[in-house]
Amino acid sequence: MEQQQKVLVIRPVEAAFIAVLLMGIIGYLIIGIKVVPQIAIIAGIALLLIYGVVKKVNFLELEAAMAIGAKSGIASIMIFFFIGMLISSWMASGTIPTFIYLAVDLVSGKFYYAIVFVVTSIIGVSIGSSLTTAATLGVAFVGASTALGISPVITAGAVVSGAFFGDKMSPLSDTTNLAASIAGVDLFDHIKNMLWTTIPAFIFSLIVYVVISPTETEQNIKQMGILKGELITLNLVHWYSLLPFIILTILAAKKVPAIATLSAGILSALLISVWMNGGIDSKGLFDLLYSGYKSASGVQEVDSMLTRGGMESMMFSISVILLALSMGGLLFRLGIIPALISLLQVVLTRVSLLISTTAGLAVAVNFIIGEQYLSILLPGNAFKEHFKKAGLEPKHLSRVLEDAGTVVNPLVPWSVCGVFLASVLGVPVADYFPFALFCLFSPLLTLIYGFTGFTLPKHGKKYSFKVSIRFPQFLKR
């Protein structure tokens, strides 16, 4: 019989001290001395285990808490494996190289970063998946920019911005549906209300990308010709190579489950690859899916751009995610997260503080646990009733959850999205962070709206309440 995992009861101030110490250690190790995230998170886990022992928590219970936390990420991990296979199969079928060929043509304009942002935004809304958008079109744009001497770091920031605009605004997105569900609001009312913050964030981001986009140079033109010529020589540019992307988009629009959709994209790409190569090499196909696509054009820029994908390429990301979620399990078992939430009740006396605290908790959960769904679930469950008491509507809560939860996750180096994006785009989170403009503007705008009262009801300025905490269902034994 399953029993609810017991939560240690500690003082909020003590929980805040442990959380700050934990983030300080992880942040210093990753950003300060640039160790790999796995080691930094292990150091954090070690700190929590020592704290648990000092608090006289049974070590077997601490191990169980880590296992429960890691278990919550199994679904994401399976999707990561399939995305790894999708990238390698789309390389072999010419799907991503064809996108790269088309992306290179866009360089003839003067607004490359802006075009990357707009195109990934459109595709992100169409398929409802930020990670799939980044792993397909994002890889193509970053690869093209690298080969053409354009900053891959800024390009990665534009890709992340566009992909998460799509993730936030698409009715097909799981986080969009989750935020609406948690707040208890109609999905399309939620999306319409998000326009108040999302459209300004989109416009501000677009303006900056236009301003910082490179101008055309003779060197770019020369490199464009070399790159396009090599892609054609490798027989990787065909109109029918886009069919796997079309299939994936149609299935996503019909809300076919993610793994089934990705499988269709992989199988269709493999069939095209077999057609292009004039026969079946069974071992070669299996090696492709596991080890990724290997380019041997002899041109370093082209080979580094195309040699990607495979299940093996996801192992780094998966190890970080499992460790981060295990740490999250410990944070709940040791009562640190519940205590931090209860600490917030002493400052919530006005609507502006309620909104800023809800947004702050969503951001904090992203940084402490690194899990996008929990950044929506925890603040949503904790403050849902208090938004009603303050005279706010459920759509106001769901908007805050998306503005400060969904789009912040890719900005955290040890988060699920951050680790994945750094892996597939080949750009560290700390590098693209300042250029992921949409992800930075969104939480800022929701705070400004909260303090100014813009788009919010004019009543309910002061109130008092107690914070209630629900233990997340998936962290039950």
What are the residue boundaries of the structural domains of the chain, listed by start? 75-314
The stretch 299-323 carries a mean pLDDT of 79
pLDDT at 61 over 50: yes
**Whole-angstrom distance, CA of residue 164 vs CA of residue 159:** 8
Per-residue pLDDT of 264-280, as tens digits, reads 999 999 999 988 877 66
Predicted confidence at residue 133, as pLDDT, reads: 83
Predicted confidence at residue 364, as pLDDT, reads: 85
What's the mean per-residue pLDDT of the chain?
81
pLDDT at 366 over 80: yes
Predicted confidence at residue 98, as pLDDT, reads: 86
Angle between helices 315-333 and 416-425 (to 10 degrees): 170
Give the count of alpha carbons within 13 A of 447, CB side only: 14
Predicted confidence at residue 460, as pLDDT, reads: 46
Predicted confidence at residue 465, as pLDDT, reads: 45
Written as one letter, the residue type at 251 is L
Predicted confidence at residue 158, as pLDDT, reads: 95
Residue 469 pLDDT level (bands cut at 50, 70, 90): very low
Predicted TM-score of the model (pTM): 0.72
Residue 1 pLDDT level (bands cut at 50, 70, 90): very low
Q: Which residue has the higher pLDDT, 127 or 233?
A: 233
Predicted confidence at residue 470, as pLDDT, reads: 46
Least confident among 106-110, 359-363, 471-475: 471-475
Least confident among 85-94, 126-135, 257-266, 468-477: 468-477
**Whole-angstrom distance, CA of residue 23 vs CA of residue 32:** 12
The stretch 436-446 carries a mean pLDDT of 93
The stretch 179-207 carries a mean pLDDT of 88
Predicted confidence at residue 206, as pLDDT, reads: 95
pLDDT at 148 over 70: yes
Could you give phi then psi for residue 18, rounded to 5 degrees?
-65, -40
Residue 154 pLDDT level (bands cut at 50, 70, 90): very high
Predicted confidence at residue 277, as pLDDT, reads: 78
Least confident among 85-99, 142-156, 365-379, 395-409: 365-379
Predicted confidence at residue 162, as pLDDT, reads: 94
Q: Which residue has the higher pLDDT, 473 or 74?
A: 74
- In percent, the amount of the chain with pLDDT more than 70 equals 88
Residue that the structure tokens 């300042």 belong to: 434
Predicted confidence at residue 9, as pLDDT, reads: 82
Predicted confidence at residue 156, as pLDDT, reads: 94
Could you give phi then psi for residue 350, rounded to 5 degrees?
-135, 160
Task: Determine contact, residues 86/309, Cβ cutoff 8 Å.
Answer: yes
Task: Determine contact, residues 146/303, Cβ cutoff 8 Å.
Answer: no
The stretch 117-145 carries a mean pLDDT of 82
**Whole-angstrom distance, CA of residue 91 vs CA of residue 453:** 49
pLDDT at 77 over 90: no
Residue 47 pLDDT level (bands cut at 50, 70, 90): very high
Helices (H), 93-186: 95-106, 112-127, 130-133, 139-147, 152-169, 174-183
Q: Which residue has the higher pLDDT, 4 or 386?
A: 386
Predicted confidence at residue 207, as pLDDT, reads: 95
Is the C-alpha dihedral spanning 242, 248, 250, 252 positive or negative? Answer: negative
- Pick the closest to residue 324 from 16, 9, 20, 39 (CA basis): 39
- In percent, the amount of the chain with pLDDT more than 90 equals 20
Written as one letter, the residue type at 375 is S
**Whole-angstrom distance, CA of residue 264 vs CA of residue 267:** 5
Written as one letter, the residue type at 363 is V
Residue 326 pLDDT level (bands cut at 50, 70, 90): confident
Structure tokens at 397: 């809560």
